[in-house]
Amino acid sequence: MSLLFRQRSSGASQVKISGFRRFVMFFVHNAQQCIASLGELARYPLASLMTMAVLGLSLTLPATLYVVVKNTEKVGGDWDQAAEMTLFLRNGLSQQEIATFTKRLNLSDDIESVRWIPKDEALAEFREGSGFGDALDALPENPLPDVLVVVPAAERRSAQAAQALLLELQKEREVAEARLDLTWLERLQALLNLVRDGFLALAILLCLSVVLIVGNTIRLNINSKRDEIIVMKLVGATNSYIQRPFLYTGVWYGVIGGVIAWFATAVLIWWIQDAVVGISELYDSQFSLEGLSVSEMGILWLLAILFGLFGSYLAVRKHVSSIEPQ
């Protein structure tokens, strides 16, 4: 539409293009500019690939850290499952009373299983394990209490729920003291939180650097095309028309950088896999690192593209409008 000359039809309206066709053409033009900016990148393959590699490798570290945290949490979850409570029973209970108490606990919905360790058994075990056999013989009677090892039901196994259950059990008449070895669990959880928060901060910093790197590269691109931009502005190009190819360039950086990130993450995980298996063998457990799932790869890709787009958006918004014909 002509701004100054009302009677003058201009551009697409002059060649009588229907609204629908113009709508379609908008996407066709975008697709053309999209392909054109890919061609532009292909003209300088090394420079383009280097930017893409920077983007991809910068995302590799957060992605790998994410995989590590994910796997650690899985392990942490397994350990959580193993939470057991130890009930030390009052002295002077008869075998009958203990058996009844055990049965009563077994019937509770909150408890999965109860194992009774009679004090004589515990003493025998202690005698063998500790090497204090002679000293124990000197004692007039068995100093150890009867012990019940309680495994809570699945839904009572989180640190908080287990704590609540522990308080309930503590109130039982037969129980002298109940202990839940939560400290190590809490410590593990705190450690996991620390690792996760640290990794998150690191990931945010790296993502920020990705945006800045893409922004800077696009800025250099814009400056190297300064003359072309001036000519385009002189013949009536809007900022958004000039910006579009640069935005697509940013998107392409993300598309290919994301794929680089996939491969680099896979290589990195393969690299640390051996070490992880080594550690898990030391702990007598079967464990293998679980890599990125398909949906996680999709998210990684999407993030790479978004960062590429955002970086180039920052650059074009500032620099395309600042280049004006003199």
With binding defined as CB under 8 A, does residue 5 bind another protein? Answer: yes
Give the one residue of 88, 116, 199, 241 binding another protein; rule: CB under 8 A: 241
Cα–Cα dist 269/206, whole Å:
19
The reply on whether position 233 binds another protein by CB under 8 A is yes
- Give the closest residue to 310 by CA, choosing from 210, 160, 170: 210
Tokens 């729920």 belong to 161
Q: Which of 15, 46, 154, 282 binds another protein (CB under 8 A)?
A: 15
For residue 155, state whether it binds another protein (rule: CB under 8 A): no
> DSSP secondary structure string, 97-121?
HHHHHHHHHHHSTTEEEEEEE-HHH
- The least distance separating another protein from the CB of residue 51, rounded to whole angstroms, comes to 21
- Least distance in angstroms from the C-beta of 234 to another protein: 6
Does residue 20 belong to the site contacting another protein (CB under 8 A)? no
Q: What gap in Å lies between CA 217 and CA 223, rounded to an integer?
A: 10
Site for another protein contains 325 (CB under 8 A) = yes
Using the contact rule CB under 8 A, the part of the chain among 3-11, 60-68, 154-162, 283-291 near another protein is 3-11
Residue from 304, 302, 315 nearest 247 by CA: 315
Pairing of strands 175-180, 147-152: unpaired
Looking only at residues 202 through 231 of this chain, which bind another protein when binding is defined by CB under 8 A? 227-228, 230-231
| β pairing state of 85-89 and 175-180 | antiparallel
β-bridge partners, 151: 113
How near is the Cβ of 233 to another protein at its closest, in Å? Answer: 7
**Range in contact with another protein (rule: CB under 8 A) among 9-17, 79-87, 182-190, 286-294:** 9-17
Q: How many angstroms separate the CA atoms of 239 and 323, rounded?
A: 10
With contacts defined by CB under 8 A, how many residues of the chain interact with another protein?
30
CB 209 within 8 A of CB 58: yes
With binding defined as CB under 8 A, does residue 4 bind another protein? yes
Name the site residues for another protein (rule: CB under 8 A): 1-5, 8, 10-12, 15, 22, 25, 28-29, 227-228, 230-239, 241, 324-326
